[in-house]
Amino acid sequence: MSNTNILQYIIHYINSEQGFVTNPVNANTKLITSRLVDSIFTLNMVNHLEEKYSFEATADEVTADNFETPSLIADYILRKTSK
């Protein structure tokens, strides 16, 4: 599993679930501080990614440090699945 594959999947997931067609997110789009996604979407995305990549996120890990951009999310998943 590569960071690039994870990142591409996350970008596709966010754009399709949120309907970002004319202005899609990219690897460095700020999701939380720009308020592009809300807390409900974030929790649903975390649940989806946990199932897809077989890891478990703890509540204290679901922060802007790990989930602010698609790139940070991909890095986080790679760390969690490399253990």
Architecture of domain 3-81: Orthogonal Bundle (1.10)
Give per-residue pLDDT as tens, 2-35.
889 999 999 999 999 998 878 899 999 999 999 9
Residue 11, CA atoms < 13 Å, CB-side half-sphere = 15
For residue 83, pLDDT over 80 is answered with no
**pLDDT value of position 21:** 78
How far apart are the C-alpha atoms of 28 and 68, rounded to whole Å? 9
**pLDDT value of position 34:** 92
Give per-residue pLDDT as tens, 40-69.
999 999 999 999 999 999 999 999 999 999
What are the residues whose beta carbons fall under 8 Å from the beta carbon of 41, sequence distance 6 or more?
A: 17, 18
Domain range annotation of the chain:
3-81
**pLDDT value of position 46:** 97
Identify the H or E element spanning 73. helix 70-81
